[in-house]
Structure 1
Amino acid sequence: MVLAAALLAAIAVTGAGPAPPLPARMADTGGGSQLITAEAPDLRSTTGRVTWWDLRGGRWVAAGSADARFGARGLVEGTRREQGTSTTPTGLFDLPYAFGVAAPPAGTSYRYRRVTQASWWCEDTASRSYNRWVEGLPGDCRAGESERLADYPTQYARALVTGYNYERPVRGRGAGIFLHVNGKGATAGCVSVPADAMRRILAWADPRRSPHLAVGTRTGGTAITRY
């Protein structure tokens, strides 16, 4: 009885108990009622966890979760990222639209763009189309500095475009940062999940609920709770 009383007293003093869900501990969730979190143990990590959340009755509830992969050289603060470093940028990003080589899964409500043989993501820093989808490669966008989306039928079977460096692109900070299906290993800077998880995320995500993607680490200056 003495031990039980001591434990209760400790809980009362420290406030110990179930930790609030991750989104409830974040500085910002984007203002919507859906959120995807991609959390890595630390900046050197190439793996972690993606969870997608619903805000229900004022409380965040996990709708699903899956193992995640990050850049081959880990993660870096998004405002300091450099293109070509194979690092995943941390931060809070909107999700403008979805795309894929495959058809959208049943229930998809996001605008979904199908990849064609002429679909490219321009990553040439000298191009007017930098960090944009183009149908047919513009003359000022070099193929060697860009991605032909159809060349990645596994990774880009289904994907979500993230708002990283998208609205007002800073040249050289990075282009083509997506949430997509796993390839053979770590990514070139994106976040990836198994194919079934990507299918579930697209069937779940509702643009009317303003979902965002938060990417970060468990602790430190790039802790996901800071975004």
Structure 2
Amino acid sequence: MIRRTPPAALLAASLLLTGCGGGAAATPDHRPEPASENTTATRSVPSPSREVSVAAAPRRLPGLGPKTLAKVPAQTRQAVVVTGRGKDSSTSTVVLYERTATGWQAGESWPAHNALKGWTDHHRLGDLRSPIGVYTLTDAGGLLRDPGTRLPYDRSTAFSLSGTGFEGEPLAGSFDYVIAIDYNRKPGTSPLDWTRPLGADRGGGIWLHVDHDGPTQGCVSIAEQHMKALLLTLDPDRHPVVVMGDAASLAR
């Protein structure tokens, strides 16, 4: 599947409005390079998931309260749970859960970063907080070739990034792999799509992406090898979602 990249000016604007990256990403001096052409790499089918013991698998996703659980679609069989250390903390952990015949099987726990100022129930553009909620995961992309994901994947030079983050760390490579979080965006489009159903003032461009060893503007970031593992595991037929927020909020 080939996707057309929006005009370069819209691409630059969309990444300036993104919740991703660090402080430098929001300045004109560090805009991503415009894409000359956006292509999609041929996707390979990942190897089957390893067999796991499900005897002790919990019937419900651990750490989630009734209000949060009610937002997880009944058909969901994969859930990326991002648990923040605190409402105002920029550090969190990520665990991929797979639903089996007897319950939810947890994968490894990965360290992660979220937004500089933590979490919010009502995300707004520039608030430097990550949105709390349950969101579908439908689309991926990046500067690097498709590693073999089942998700639609947009490879584009528009995912180039330079400059430094909030703690002076280099941002280069942060968008080598990204998975769009379907907060204030149109599912089924490139992560670069600028459509904002809730309006531009509610922010957008909230992604899972490669960690740059510092807080983000609104995204969730994990190590490159873990991003690649997610891309190889997530399956649209299993209706994956991300469940994200600080621990206290998720427990409601």
**Normalised TM-score (structure 2):** 0.64
Q: State, as a whole percentage, how many aligned pairs show the same letter.
A: 27
Q: List runs of 5+ in structure 1 lacking aligned partners.
A: 1-17, 120-148
Asked if 1:98 corresponds to 2:140, the answer is yes
- The aligned residue for residue 29 of structure 1 is 72
Whole-angstrom CA distance in 1 between matches of 2:78 and 2:150: 14
1:53-72 CA deviation, whole Å, 9 max, x = no partner? 10010400013320010101
Q: Where do residues 144-223 of structure 1 align in structure 2 (5 Å cutoff)?
A: 149-151=159-161, 153-167=172-186, 168-219=197-248, 223=249
Backbone CA RMSD of aligned residues: 2.0
Confirm or deny: 8 A CA contact 1:35 1:54 kept in the other structure. yes
CA, structure 1 residues 22+83, in 2 after alignment: closer, same or farther (shift >3 Å)? farther
Give how far 1:176 is off: 0.7
CA, structure 1 residues 22+41, in 2 after alignment: closer, same or farther (shift >3 Å)? farther
User: Which of 135, 152, 163 is the matching residue for 1:111?
Assistant: 152
Q: List runs of 5+ in structure 2 lacking aligned partners.
A: 1-55, 163-171, 187-196
Give how far 1:21 is off: 6.8
Please list every run of at least 4 consecutive aligned residues from structure 1 whose deviation after the TM superposition is greater than 3 angstroms: 18-22
Confirm or deny: 8 A CA contact 1:22 1:225 kept in the other structure. no
DSSP 3-state at the match of 1:113: strand
Whole-angstrom CA distance in 1 between matches of 2:57 and 2:152: 35
Asked if 1:43 corresponds to 2:87, the answer is yes
Give how far 1:19 is off: 10
Whole-angstrom CA distance in 1 between matches of 2:59 and 2:87: 22
Larger strand fraction of residues:
1
Confirm or deny: 8 A CA contact 1:27 1:225 kept in the other structure. no
* Amino acid corresponding to residue 108 of structure 1 in structure 2: T
* Amino acid corresponding to residue 177 of structure 2 in structure 1: R
Count of residue pairs brought into register by the alignment? 172
CA, structure 1 residues 38+21, in 2 after alignment: closer, same or farther (shift >3 Å)? farther
Whole-angstrom CA distance in 1 between matches of 2:71 and 2:57: 18
Whole-angstrom CA distance in 2 between matches of 1:164 and 1:28: 14
* Amino acid corresponding to residue 174 of structure 1 in structure 2: G
Whole-angstrom CA distance in 2 between matches of 1:211 and 1:180: 16
**Normalised TM-score (structure 1):** 0.70
Whole-angstrom CA distance in 2 between matches of 1:113 and 1:19: 35
1:6-32 CA deviation, whole Å, 9 max, x = no partner? xxxxxxxxxxxx994761543332331
